[in-house]
């Protein structure tokens, strides 16, 4: 099983690879949604060399939705990513798939729609397109993951195993609109230190607004220490430690814990203890692994 | 060029019939399986058959939402269900899951396949991808301006459907898990609790920055896109869709009646004056229970397009009765009461394909011709004297000077 993570800066690449990361997922401001680290497109030429130097894949997020006037730029970007030797490209918009087909690079694509992939038939559909892989939705249970892994090609599946989970993406500038409604002038866009709490609850959910709209995240950090061995047994191809709202140093600690767990140097209990000791204030949970959502109200 | 399709929602057979009678070209409904909006009173297969047969009499089509994003256990019975829909004469299914789309193509090939807005298609390359997969239509994302929409339309090889009116998801459709996280109700399987419309406190580094009197919310005003119909028709958009499978019969009747007249007038006259458009918008406002905005049609929604300090609920009290019968000899109408009204009420009747007519309800009688002080029991049958003939299936509402809700 590959261990993937999301460096925040260039300097994190070597440290994360040394800690055990097999793949590093990078984002660019224009093409990527909710990327932990943002890099210049031109930088990727050097970064791919750096990743490969440390035996890690460079994977790139091209996971936003595009408008027609942006399609030429998208095509140029995809062509560039292929040319520089990018190892994988995450996408959500079928335009990326269509253009990659023209560019003969579908084999680099990984479908990551965040919420839409919840069963083996849809998994099979995207894998039959000749993609490198898919990322399963986060809102399914361990037993559903097992069923999908058994029924489809588990080696091409990736799970978001650790990190804050993206809960909502609006194209609207919801924080700026609120300030405008209140008649206040504070600028809240590109501020990554904000949370919302529903009026009757006490769960702080991270929220931020950027050029792509407004994003809301889970109040907890998803963790998968207990489940990792089961995922390995099932042949799941990769897990991701998503570093949004984390520092590079914290990511190195997390990668190291999961790597030792993966290698059998730590058992699940000790891995959890190592995590608690390194992140004493973090609220973590098993997400939807054992908590099925319902069909009705 | 084909006339643009007016696509109406219906939560049950009664509302389907209303939508068709009032002039919808097609109606979209949910079955009891594989559909979102689980709270809408979804259709049994028998109801679907009855709805298709009824619609056929008026030359209208029925689309069925099969737009759930299924989990493993939800997939049982899919093929049989799709075949049953095909055998019922359903024209199209609206899907988000590609697996369901491909299953339908293989096992129920007469069904048209429409890609749901849950897929958030925002460009022509994605539309044409779906064309190559054998899909028949794409319902576009709501997050498109008129000029972006025009670009999609001009590059697309498939008919396109867009939302023209109704409630707005604040999120890209299908990409919102607020309800899942906060209530364990799966928004992508019909359980959306509309958590976006709740009130929230906002903090920066743990320090409150909200206003306690007007908490943060992610609630959008409803869309009213009637003013953009001439543009959508000019572009060649295939279908305009009204949101609201959970809305009332009155809501559907009011909207379909008005949009039918508006679309027909644009085609007949070739254009429409601002004054006439204002009149149509005023008619549409009689059905609505949330304030309106223009969605993304004119660009990025601003603060004024959001709802703060209200929960967005509240029913318009204008709808007062249905017409059951009209006795032209005695000039008396028999009504079924829907909401309270008194003698002296200025009322307005509207019926399928008929203009609006106003009159005063001078007196109210019960079925035994006993005079009533008020009609305040919903579903009670009453009679009123009325000089203008009222059609069966007409609806009656109060005429009130409705101030904008802000």
Of B69, B98, B303, the CB nearest to A125: B98
Across the interface, whether the CB atoms of A293 and B180 are under 8 A apart is answered yes
Mean pLDDT for B91-102 is 96
Across the interface, whether the CB atoms of A172 and B123 are under 8 A apart is answered no
Best of B32, B75, B122 to substitute, by most chain A Cβ atoms within 10 angstroms, is: B122
Q: How far does the CA of residue B220 sit from the closest CA of chain A (Å)?
A: 10
Across the interface, whether the CB atoms of B186 and A197 are under 8 A apart is answered no
Across the interface, whether the CB atoms of A293 and B144 are under 8 A apart is answered no
Distance of CA A160 to the CA centre of its chain: 6
Task: Out of A250-264, B45-59, B224-238, B339-353, pick the least confident.
Answer: B339-353
Predicted pLDDT at A295? 55
Percentage of residues in chain B with pLDDT exceeding 90? 72
pLDDT tens, A142-153? 999 999 999 999
Domains of chain A (ranges; CATH) run 2-166+219-285 (3.20.20.70)
> What residues of chain B lie within 8 A of the CB of A62, using their CB?
none
pLDDT tens, A265-293? 999 999 999 999 999 999 999 988 997 77
* A271 touches A261 (CB < 8 A): yes
Between CA B152 and CA B154 the distance in angstroms is 6
Predicted pLDDT at B313? 40
Q: Write out the DSSP string of B134-151.
A: T--EEE--S---HHHHHH
Between CA B399 and CA B207 the distance in angstroms is 49
Between CA B37 and CA B41 the distance in angstroms is 9
Torsion from C-alpha of B189, B193, B196, B197, nearest 10 degrees:
140
Task: Out of A68-72, A252-256, B191-195, B269-273, pick the least confident.
Answer: B191-195
Chain B contacts in chain A segment 188-247 (CB below 8 A)? 188, 191, 193-199, 201, 204, 207, 214, 216, 218-219
How many CA atoms does the CB half-sphere of A160 hold within 13 Å?
A: 28
Predicted pLDDT at B386? 94
Mean pLDDT for B238-259 is 93
The greatest distance separating any two alpha carbons of chain A, rounded to the nearest whole angstrom, comes to 57
> What residues of chain A lie within 8 A of the CB of B220, using their CB?
172
Predicted pLDDT at A82? 98
* B19 touches B28 (CB < 8 A): no
Question: Any chain A CB within 8 A of the CB of B97?
Answer: yes
For residue A204, what are its two tokens?
């702080």
Give the 3-state secondary structure of chain A. CEEEECCCCHHHHHHHHHHCCCEEEEECCCCCCCCCCECCCCCHHHHHHHHHHCCCEEEEEECCCCCHHHHHHHHHHHHHHHHCCCCEEEECCHHHHHHHHHCCCHHHEEECCCCCCCCHHHHHHHHHCCCCEEECCCCCCHHHHHHHHHHCCHHHEEEEEEEEEEEEEECCCHHHHHHHHHCCCCCCCCCCCEEEEECCCCCCEEEEEECCEEEEEEEEEECCCCCHHHHHHHCCCEEEECCCCCCHHHHHHHHHHHHHHHHCCCCHHHHHHHHHHHCCCCCEECCCCCCCCECCC
Of A119, A178, A194, the CB nearest to B99: A119
Across the interface, whether the CB atoms of B98 and A126 are under 8 A apart is answered yes
pLDDT tens, A98-124? 999 999 999 999 999 988 899 999 999
Of B185, B214, B220, the CB nearest to A182: B214
Mean pLDDT for B27-31 is 93
Question: Any chain B CB within 8 A of the CB of A296?
Answer: yes
Please determine, for residue B317, whether its predicted confidence score (pLDDT) is greater than 70: no
Chain A contacts in chain B segment 213-242 (CB below 8 A)? 214-218, 220
Mean pLDDT for B280-290 is 85
> What residues of chain A lie within 8 A of the CB of B182, using their CB?
198, 201
What is the sign, positive or negative, of the torsion defined by CA atoms of B114, B119, B122, B126? negative
pLDDT tens, A59-82? 999 999 999 999 999 999 999 999
The C-alpha angle B218, B245, A125, rounded to 5 degrees, equals 80
Q: How far does the CA of residue A213 sit from the closest CA of chain B (Å)?
A: 10
Q: Which residues pair with A124 in a beta bridge?
A: none
Q: How far does the CA of residue B180 sit from the closest CA of chain A (Å)?
A: 6
- Mean pLDDT for all residues in chain B: 90
> What residues of chain A lie within 8 A of the CB of B215, using their CB?
199
Of the candidates B281, B301, B4, the one whose C-alpha atom is nearest the C-alpha of residue B144 is B301
Predicted pLDDT at A294? 65
pLDDT tens, B43-94? 999 999 999 999 999 999 999 999 888 887 777 889 999 999 999 999 999 9
Q: How far does the CA of residue A49 sit from the closest CA of chain B (Å)?
A: 32
Strands (E) across B213-318 are located at 216-217, 219-220, 222-224, 239-242, 292-293, 306-307
Residue of A nearest to B170 (CA): A170
What is the sign, positive or negative, of the torsion defined by CA atoms of A98, A103, A104, A105? negative
> What residues of chain A lie within 8 A of the CB of B117, using their CB?
none
Predicted pLDDT at B85? 97
Domains of chain B (ranges; CATH) run 5-307 (3.20.20.70), 319-398 (2.40.30.10)
pLDDT tens, B113-156? 999 999 999 999 999 999 999 999 999 999 999 999 999 999 99
Across the interface, whether the CB atoms of A167 and B201 are under 8 A apart is answered no
Give Cβ neighbours of residue A171 (< 8 Å, ≥ 6 apart): A212, A213, B143, B172, B296, B300
Of B126, B177, B218, the CB nearest to A93: B126
Given the DSSP bridges, would you call strands B199-204 and A194-198 parallel, antiparallel or unpaired? Answer: antiparallel
Q: Helices in B90-223 by DSSP H: which ranges?
A: 98-107, 124-132, 146-155, 178-183
- Mapped onto helix, strand or coil, the DSSP state of residue B214 is strand
Across the interface, whether the CB atoms of A121 and B38 are under 8 A apart is answered no
pLDDT tens, B154-202? 999 999 999 999 988 899 987 788 887 777 777 766 677 888 889 999 9
A264 pLDDT band (50/70/90 cuts)?
very high
Please determine, for residue B404, whether its predicted confidence score (pLDDT) is greater than 60: no
Q: Which residues pair with B375 in a beta bridge?
A: B341
Across the interface, whether the CB atoms of A98 and B125 are under 8 A apart is answered yes
Best of A68, A189, A190, A192 to substitute, by most chain B Cβ atoms within 10 angstroms, is: A68
Predicted pLDDT at B95? 95
Please determine, for residue B273, whether its predicted confidence score (pLDDT) is greater than 70: yes
Q: How far does the CA of residue A206 sit from the closest CA of chain B (Å)?
A: 9
The C-alpha angle B49, B53, B59, rounded to 5 degrees, equals 135
Percentage of residues in chain A with pLDDT exceeding 90? 91
pLDDT tens, A17-61? 999 999 999 999 999 999 999 999 999 999 999 999 999 999 999
Q: Determine which helix (DSSP H) or strand (DSSP E) holds B7, and give its type and residue range.
A: strand B5-9
Best of B124, B171, B215 to substitute, by most chain A Cβ atoms within 10 angstroms, is: B171
Mean pLDDT for B289-311 is 87
């Amino acid at each position: 099983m590959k261990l993937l993570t999301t460096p925040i800066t260039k300097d994190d690449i070597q440290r994360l690879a040394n800690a055990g990361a097999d793949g590093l997922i990078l984002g660019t401001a224009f093409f990527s949604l909710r990327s932990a680290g943002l890099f210049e497109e031109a930088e990727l030429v050097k970064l791919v060399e750096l990743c490969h130097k440390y035996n890690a894949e460079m994977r790139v997020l091209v996971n936003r939705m595009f408008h027609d006037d942006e399609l030429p730029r998208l095509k140029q970007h995809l062509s560039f990513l292929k040319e520089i030797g990018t190892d994988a490209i995450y996408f959500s918009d079928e335009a990326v798939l269509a253009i990659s087909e023209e560019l003969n690079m579908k084999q680099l694509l990984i479908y990551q729609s965040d919420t839409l992939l919840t069963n083996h038939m849809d998994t099979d559909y995207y894998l039959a397109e000749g993609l490198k892989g898919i990322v399963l939705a986060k809102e399914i249970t361990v037993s559903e993951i097992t069923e999908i892994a058994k029924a489809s090609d588990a080696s091409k599946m990736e799970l978001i195993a650790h990190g804050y989970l993206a809960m909502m993406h609006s194209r609207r500038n919801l924080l700026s609109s609120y300030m405008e409604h209140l008649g206040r002038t504070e600028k809240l866009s590109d501020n990554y230190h904000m949370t919302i709490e529903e009026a009757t609850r006490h769960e702080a959910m991270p929220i931020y607004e950027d050029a792509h709209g407004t994003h809301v995240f889970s109040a907890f950090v998803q963790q998968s220490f207990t489940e990792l061995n089961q995922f390995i047994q099932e042949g799941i191809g990769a897990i991701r430690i998503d570093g949004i709202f984390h520092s590079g140093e914290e990511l190195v600690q997390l990668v190291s814990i999961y790597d030792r767990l993966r290698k059998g140097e730590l058992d699940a209990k000790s891995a959890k203890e190592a995590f608690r000791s390194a992140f004493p204030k973090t609220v973590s949970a098993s997400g939807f692994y054992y908590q099925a959502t319902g069909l009705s109200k | 060029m084909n006339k643009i399709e007016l696509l109406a929602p219906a939560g049950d057979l009664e509302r389907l019939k209303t939508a068709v009678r009032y002039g919808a070209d097609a109606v979209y409904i949910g079955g009891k399986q594989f559909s979102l909006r689980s709270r809408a009173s979804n259709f049994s297969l028998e109801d679907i058959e009855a709805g298709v047969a009824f619609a056929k009499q008026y030359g209208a089509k029925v689309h069925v939402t099969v737009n759930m994003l299924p989990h493993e256990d939800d997939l049982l019975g899919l093929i049989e269900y799709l075949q049953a829909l095909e055998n019922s004469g359903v024209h199209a299914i609206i899907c988000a899951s590609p697996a369901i789309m491909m299953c339908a193509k293989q096992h129920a090939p007469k069904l048209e396949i429409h890609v749901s807005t849950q897929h958030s298609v925002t460009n022509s390359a994605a539309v044409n991808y779906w064309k190559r997969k054998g899909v028949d239509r794409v319902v576009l994302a709501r997050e498109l301006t008129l000029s972006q929409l025009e670009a999609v339309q001009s590059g697309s090889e498939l008919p396109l459907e867009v939302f023209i009116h109704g409630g707005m998801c604040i999120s890209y459709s299908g990409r919102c898990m607020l309800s899942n996280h906060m209530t364990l109700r799966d928004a992508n399987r019909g359980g959306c609790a509309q958590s976006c419309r709740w009130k929230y406190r906002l903090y920066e580094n743990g320090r409150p920055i909200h206003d306690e009197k007007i908490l943060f919310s992610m609630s959008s005003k409803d869309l009213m896109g009637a003013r953009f119909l001439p543009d959508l028709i000019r572009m060649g958009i295939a279908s305009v869709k009204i949101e609201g499978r959970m809305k009332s019969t009155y809501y559907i009747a009011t909207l379909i009646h008005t949009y039918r007249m508006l679309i027909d007038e644009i085609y007949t006259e070739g254009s429409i004056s601002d004054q006439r458009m204002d009149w149509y918008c005023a008619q549409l406002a009689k059905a609505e229970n949330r304030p309106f905005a223009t969605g993304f049609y004119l660009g990025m929604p601003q603060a004024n397009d959001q709802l703060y300090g209200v929960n967005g609920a509240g029913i318009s009290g204008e709808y007062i009765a249905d017409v059951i019968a009209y006795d032209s000899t005695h000039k008396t109408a028999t009504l079924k009461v829907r909401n309270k009204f008194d003698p002296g009420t200025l009322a307005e009747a509207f019926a399928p394909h008929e203009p609006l007519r106003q009159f005063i309800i001078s007196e109210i009688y019960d079925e035994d011709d006993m005079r009533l002080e008020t009609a305040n029991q919903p579903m009670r049958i009453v009679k009123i004297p009325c000089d203008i003939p009222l059609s069966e299936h007409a609806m009656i509402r109060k005429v009130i000077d409705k101030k904008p809700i802000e």
